[in-house]
Structure 1
Amino acid sequence: MKRILIVTGQSGSGKSSALQVLEDLGYYCIDNLPLALLPEIVGKLDQENNLEQLALGVDVRSTRADLQEFDQVFEQLQKYGSVDIIYLTTQDQELITRFSASRRPHPLAGRWPSLHECIQEEKGLLLPIQMRATVNIDTTDKSVHDLKHTLLSKLGQSDNLIVILQSFGYKHGIPLDADYVFDVRHLPNPHWDLQLRKLSGLDAPVQKFLSEFEQTGQMFEDIHQFLAKWLPAFAEGHRHYITVSIGCTGGQHRSVYMVNRLKQALEANWSIQVLHREMKHWS
């Protein structure tokens, strides 16, 4: 067996959807087995089947003792192939909204009186797994289609490093799945120019406005030089992806401009994926 994925995260964050995506990608998927049994089952599958890709769904319904012994389970699984952990997370308020809409109880509902308490307890129980996660995905604003796109990008379909450049707005929250976050809110804001307000950083008038300021060029050079220096190190470490998030206030002008300019500077040497998280909010 060559590749084993452990798919886990907060209840309501999309674990079942992620497993369906992986099944479509050719992974043999197993869900909701006790953690302690996984090494034995994986070993049996390795002997009896010629499986190249295996995905294992794990959640908080495993016993507390099993979750606390996760490090031992992880080390035993490494005997059968490379092991990556996909951890799905979602902002608390969105989880509450999802559970209210589905009318399904949280897996810990019998132990804690409120949904908020269940969510906080679950975070603590899953912490041993989260600490080992190699792929973190924030599904707060993601549809199933978005989740599939993110999985494809972050898992990679080759040994080449994929650089994900993501623009976002601080007023909508910092991305939880970013490896690096750069703040460009100090740059002049096109929002205050009424002729530019409804445009985005992809439009030529906004690009011209920002490019005329010296500090814009200085910020770009600093981020570009940092990435040019350290991306080769990530590639040599056999990372499949790295997510670089650029944030401004609303995620429409400055961050979008900077992501677009970085893409143009890096795409000759790296495989680039661009995500503009707040596009749905653009006026």
Structure 2
Amino acid sequence: MRFVIVTGMSGAGKSTALNRLEDMGYFCVDNLPISLISKFAEMAYTPGSEIQRVALGVDVRSGEALGKLEDVLEGMAAASQKYEILFLDAADEVLVKRYKETRRTHPLARGGRVDRGIAQEREKLAFLKRHADYIIDTSKLLTRELNMELEKIFVEGREFKSLVVTVLSFGFKYGIPADADLVFDVRFLPNPYYIDELKKQTGNDKPVQDYVMGFDVSHVFLNKLTDMVQFLLPNYVQEGKNQLIIGIGCTGGKHRSVTLANKLFESLSLQNDYGIRIEHRDIGK
């Protein structure tokens, strides 16, 4: 029996996760009254039950009864009814944007401001996040990427990577990414933009990569950057961080930053302890 409680912030992808788990063969129930969860778990754990995989959606729609969930979970544990908690999260500004785009009403902000509803929701769900077995931050994830993470955890049984690292190239002329945790400036490196045959190419093209990495200073910088990031990652995990965005910027975000971001991504991808993504924000501008 695998009993998964799917919870998290409204707008972070809980419905998407439940739909995907249902596709994977899980018996899914959303917004079951808290008072019925114990009975439901008892039924699911009945010897000989045909139900072997359950996904139960729980969130702030439960109202004041949500506060009783902790007692329910303690009762399940005492009865040797194992469960896992999947918590879907996203940055506040991302959640606000999603609500504005869909014109939906936040369950705790009816007639009020969405950001205040989100703040209240975080407080109410804090105990679930503390006890979560899996925390997935969907701020930067596409739906297909979220589905891939769910498949790794709940189908393939791979070890969950609690920290997802995004290596992000950008151009300073378009602004520093507001969500970047670490920002590195590579404008000190020789610029391929001034080489006619390289000007219209990008750091995804081998001639540009060969040019940028053709200088000793590029290799020294990459080695030092990689070493520092590898030192920081386990410390971020210990702190409980689940999303790290490393910004690497040059003037226009097409040549030097893309090249160095690709190289850092390649180095970090050799490790299996973290999820690694790469994004080139300004490469098409």
Structure 1 runs not aligned, ≥5 long: 175-180, 235-241
> How far did residue 271 of structure 1 move?
8.5
- In the aligned structure 2, how far is the partner of 1:10 from the partner of 1:189? 41
- Amino acid of the structure 2 residue aligned with 1:275: R
Counterpart code for 1:136? I
For each residue in 1:253-283, what CA deviation from the matched residue of structure 2 results, as whole angstroms up to 9, or x when unmatched? Answer: 43332121232x44xxx4886422x346432
2:109 matches 1:109: yes
The equivalent residue for 2:179 is 173
Q: Is the 8 A contact 2:3 2:55 kept in 1?
A: yes
Call closer, same or farther: CA 1:164–1:115 in 2, change over 3 Å: closer
Contact 1:184-1:247 at 8 Å conserved across structures? yes
Q: How many pairs were matched up?
A: 258
Q: Render the CA deviation track for 1:183-242: whole Å, top value 9, x for unaligned.
A: 461656669542479623685633763573323213324545787xx7xxx9xxxxxxx8
Tell me, in whole angstroms, the C-alpha distance in 1 between the residues paired with 2:45 and 2:265: 43
Distance in 1 (CA, whole Å) between partners of 2:205 and 2:243 is 20
Shift, 1:171, TM fit: 0.5
The residue that corresponds to 2:216 in the other structure is 212
Once the two structures are superposed, what CA deviation does each residue of 1:9-32 show, in whole Å capped at 9, x if it has no partner? 111222111100111112111110
Q: Distance between the aligned counterparts of 1:191 and 1:136, measured in 2?
A: 41
Structure-2 separation of matches of 1:136 and 1:51: 25
Q: 1:86 to 1:248 in 2, by over 3 A?
A: farther
Separation of aligned partners in 2, 1:89 and 1:61: 16
Name stretches of at least 5 consecutive residues in structure 2 with no aligned partner. Answer: 170-175
Structure 1 letter corresponding to 2:87: Y
Residue 262 in structure 1 maps to residue 268 in structure 2: yes
1:94 is aligned to 2:97: no
Q: Which residue of 1 aligns with 2:34?
A: 35
Percent sequence identity is 24
For 2:263, give the aligned amino acid.
Answer: Y
In the other structure, the counterpart of 2:172 is none
Aligned-partner Cα distance in 2 for 1:147–1:202: 29
DSSP-derived class of the 1:140 partner: coil
CA contact (8 A) 1:168 1:247 kept: yes
Q: Conserved in 1, the CA contact under 8 Å of 2:24 and 2:155?
A: no
Give the secondary structure class of the aligned counterpart of 2:156: coil
The answer to whether residue 130 in structure 2 is matched with residue 128 in structure 1 is no
- Alignment RMSD (CA, Å): 3.7
Q: Identify if the C-alpha distance between structure 1 residues 159 and 150 changes in structure 2 by more than 3 Å, giving closer, same or farther.
A: closer
Which 10-residue stretch deviates more, 88-97 or 22-31? Answer: 88-97
Distance 1:107 1:201, change over 3 A: same
Change (3 A) 1:222 1:81: farther
Residues 125 and 32 of structure 1: CA distance in aligned 2, closer, same or farther (over 3 Å)? same
Q: Is the 8 A contact 1:164 1:273 kept in 2?
A: yes
Q: How much has 1:118 moved relative to structure 2? A: 1.4
**Residues 192 and 211 of structure 2 are in contact (CA less than 8 Å); yes or no, is this contact kept in structure 1?**
no
CA contact (8 A) 1:166 1:274 kept: yes
Cα distance, 1:51 vs structure 2: 2.9
- Per the alignment, do residues 259 and 280 of structure 1 end up closer, same or farther by CA in structure 2, a change over 3 Å counting? same
Q: Secondary structure at the match of 1:63?
A: helix
TM-score, normalised to structure 1, is 0.72
Displacement of 1:244 in angstroms is: 6.8
Deviations 1:33-57 (A, max 9, x none): 1233212211112116243321110
1:158 maps to what in 2?
Answer: 157
3-state SS of 2:62 partner: coil
SS at match of 1:5: strand
TM-score, scaled relative to structure 2: 0.72
